[in-house]
Structure 1
Amino acid sequence: MANLNQPPSRVTPNLLHILNAFTDSSNTIINSIVELNSNTINKYELITETGHLKLDRVGYSSLAYPFAYGCIPRTWDEDGDPLDVEIVGVTEPLIPGSIVEARIIGVMKFDDGGEVDDKVIAVLADDKRMDHISSYEDLGDHWLKETKYYWEHYKDLKKPGTCTVNGFFGIEEAVKVIKDCEERYKKEIDPKLVN
């Protein structure tokens, strides 16, 4: 059984507030809380106060997520949510609500209706099939086009033209984004935690 080094409790621990963003000092592996798998149109989101998953919305079109998706613990993005992570190349469905270690390969800068909503790009840390992927660029032009298309059109039936991908960037920029979101979490969320 996995151990989070927490005392027994009748209350489910909120992984968002217990786990660190980075798993090691090299800042290349992150903890990720899985919210949904690829090929789904339903959007589940972590309830930040309790750590439970909630169906946030049913997709407005048949455009499905092209990657597994989740969030990074102890981070807070400018949109008022934990920093998002796209986990690419997943061959078996992940269990929503589970924790996976993911290796950072880049970041996608994203504007969602005027809000900064960046997405870290990662692969499962222990997936040997992904060892040849060291950067988002290794995913190829088609993956970049597909991902850009998804994000710029997934809200077209609700609010057309409100989402813009502002580019893909490397690991160094991804680490900077994560650290900035860690600092924002420390300032905005840590003081509000009860225990």
Structure 2
Amino acid sequence: MKNYDIIIETPKEGHFKYKFEPSAGMFKLNKILPQGLVFPYDFGFVPYTVGEDGDPLDVLVFSEHALFTGCVVECRIIGGIQASEMDENKISIRNDRLIGIPVLSKVYAHINSIDQIEEEKINEIKNFFISYNSYYDKTFITEGVLSAADVEKLIKQSNNSYHHFKNKPTLSRL
């Protein structure tokens, strides 16, 4: 199992959703969650990847303490939740939620596979993203669980997509 650096956008228990803006090199406040809704885990991304939604691959980081926006944390990716989002135009876009464990974690050190995460915890994550997306008029559809091997392939594929996308000329690069 390979380790990856994950960049944290939104700390766990946070009421604010931040998003990294590559052109500015900064994190920008993207959303304010409704009262009573907080991120259950640190939320970040795998740098140098691009998913179907045009953003880097999303990662939930299981850590004993909240990290901070911009923190880089080395994680082993143990699997993920395969999912898609449907926008207001009824267009479905794959948008998985990978799960990472910090290599420095003591509490989660024993977890090496998504199979070791309780089903109730996986369902809580699914329900969080269903509620979160519903609030913003999107539909979040869970389609199953991804193994660490599935995620490894997905990261490699999205890394190749990133490099292909990065090398295409755009108006901002001309």
Instruction: Note whether the superposition's TM-score is higher than 0.5.
Output: yes
User: Is 1:181–2:158 an aligned residue pair?
Assistant: yes
Q: Residues of 1 paired with 2:153 and 2:25: CA distance?
A: 25
- Counterpart position of 2:41: 67
The offset of 1:86, in angstroms, is 0.7
Give yes or no for contact 1:109–1:117 (8 Å, CA) kept in 2.
yes
CA RMSD of aligned residues (A): 1.8
Tell me the amino acid that sits aligned with residue 97 of structure 1.
G
Secondary structure of 1:77's match?
Answer: coil
Question: Could you tell me the percent identity over the aligned residues?
Answer: 26
Q: C-alpha distance in 1, partners of 2:141/2:34?
A: 18
Q: CA deviation at 1:157?
A: 3.0
What is the DSSP-based 3-state SS (H/G/I as helix, E as strand, rest coil) of the residue aligned with 2:157? Answer: helix
For structure 1, which segment, 78-87 or 183-192, has the greater mean C-alpha deviation from structure 2 after superposition?
Answer: 183-192
1:122 aligned to 2:100?
yes
2:5 to 12, 31, 42: 31
TM-score w.r.t. structure 1 length? 0.79
Equivalences, count: 166
- Residue identity matched to 2:70: G
- TM-score (normalizing by structure 2): 0.88
Residues 8, 68 of structure 2: 8 Å contact kept: yes
Q: Does 1:143 align with 2:121?
A: yes
- Bigger fraction of residues in strand: 2
Shift of 1:192: 5.0
Alignment partners' CA distance in 2, 1:192 and 1:53 = 24
Tell me the secondary structure at the aligned position of residue 7 of structure 2.
strand
In structure 1, distance between residues paired with 2:38 and 2:142: 17
8 Å CA contact 1:151, 1:165 repeated in 2: no
In structure 2, runs of 5+ residues without a counterpart are: 87-91
Task: Tell me, in whole angstroms, the C-alpha distance in 1 between the residues paired with 2:120 and 2:75.
Answer: 22
CA deviations over 1:3-35 (Å, ceiling 9, x no partner): xxxxxxxxxxxxxxxxxxxxxxxx520011111
Cα displacement string for residues 32-88 of structure 1 (whole angstroms, at most 9, x for unaligned residues):
111111112311011022331000111145221111011111101110111111101
Q: 1:156 to 1:183 in 2, by over 3 A?
A: same
Q: Deviations over 1:137-186 (max 9, x none)?
A: 212111111011111121323326x1111111110001011011101101
Say which SS state the counterpart of residue 129 (structure 1) adopts: coil
Q: Distance in 2 between matches of 1:172 and 1:159?
A: 33
SS of equivalent residue, structure 1 residue 39 = coil
CA distance in 2, matches of 1:132, 1:42: 30
